Amino acid sequence: MNKPHDQMWTTYQRYKSKIEKVNELVGIRDIAKKAEVSISTVSYALNGSPRVSEPTRQRILAMANDMNYIPNLAGQNLRRQKTDIIAVYLSSYQGTFYGELLEGMHQKAVELGLELIICSGKRSRLFLPQRLIDGILVLDMTYENEELLKYADLSFPIVVLDRKLTHEKIRSVLLDNKAGSKEAVQSLIDEKIDKLCILSGPVHNHDSSERVEAAVEVAKANNIECEIIEGDFTEASGYLAGKDIQFESGRNYGVFALNDEMALGIHNYLREKNYPIGKNIFIRGFDKNQISQYLMPPIKSVSYSKYNWGAMALESLQKLIKEEDVANKTVSTYFKI
């Protein structure tokens, strides 16, 4: 065997040895055997108990580290009946919507001594019944009401941000969708529009339903023709909605997109087709994403604090976990030119 090949083989064997060592499942019995102490002494040392002396504790911790000991959190949590971990469930990671909301949740979790994990998909929903987490925040349209109610019946704490559910173990922290929507549509009517086009979200979505209801109410009160084009809260659906609307010459149109992603989509479509945005066609959005403010012309949008919404939701869940009194809450929305 030549020398370079020999050195390479030796390096590989060392690497393999390290991997095998990391993959060994070391328990407190193994540490106790090596340290020549009882299992209870190792347990006390690892958990910072004053029942062992500081030199003994340091010696056991050093051995545990050298043996790549990893605590069995599932077993510890089962004994404690508490993990100090909260999960937030999202239906998607797309778009710019979630950043500020999750930061609000994260900062409040840090303040309360909790950790936050972000989940999506059905398998991760087993974390709650398996007691790997203490409670959940739900902003996931695919999470069925029946499943949430089933977990609530088992006394698991739940806070929803995207629907209304009545249960002693469930609280809601929802946006005031109607207030901001009414103000946004009224601002379009003030532009002397002849027709209101509403770009809605998915069918049965709570936020979309409330925003549509409020928009239609204002349009009817002002005798404004109204059309609803169904979207799915994505930029692509907003772009496609632009193709579906028949913009007639000589008429003024107001477009109320129920989130800024769809507002951006139809804005891009209208720009490509050289429609006069801000002259005969006026766009309003919802969520006030930063990107919408830098468009030409900018999209005026319903605003609220996503950060406060997230922080409020997490704080409500913590109170629910601790069995403290907590009511359903509403986050204020507003529209300003």
Q: What is the mean pLDDT of residues 90-102?
A: 84
pLDDT tens, position by position, 235-250: 999 999 999 999 999 9
Query: What's the Cα-to-Cα distance from 34 to each of 37, 53, 55, 182, rounded to whole Å?
Result: 8, 18, 16, 71
Structure confidence at residue 12 (pLDDT): 54
State which amino acid sits at residue 242.
G
- Per-residue pLDDT at 71 exceeds 90: no
**Residue-wise pLDDT tens digits, 117-146:** 999 888 899 999 988 999 999 999 999 999
- Span 4-14, pLDDT tens digits: 556 666 665 66
Q: Are 158 and 135 in contact (CB under 8 A)?
A: yes
Chain position carrying tokens 């995207």: 162
In this predicted structure, the answer to whether residue 19 has a pLDDT above a threshold of 50 is: no
Residues 6+ apart with CB under 8 A from 168: 152
Residue identified by tokens 């999470």 is: 143
The per-residue pLDDT for 11 is: 63
* Residue 103: strand, helix, or coil: helix
pLDDT of residue 27: 78
pLDDT confidence tier of residue 115, bands split at 50, 70 and 90? very high
Backbone angles phi, psi at 159, to 5 degrees: -120, 125
Q: What percentage of the chain has pLDDT greater than the value 70?
A: 89
Q: What is the DSSP string of 308-334?
A: HHHHHHHHHHHHHHTT-----EEE--B
Domains in the chain, start-ordered, CATH in brackets?
3-71 (1.10.260.40), 82-175+307-331 (3.40.50.2300), 177-302 (3.40.50.2300)
pLDDT band at 20 (very low <50, low <70, confident <90, very high): very low
More confidently predicted of 17 and 93: 93
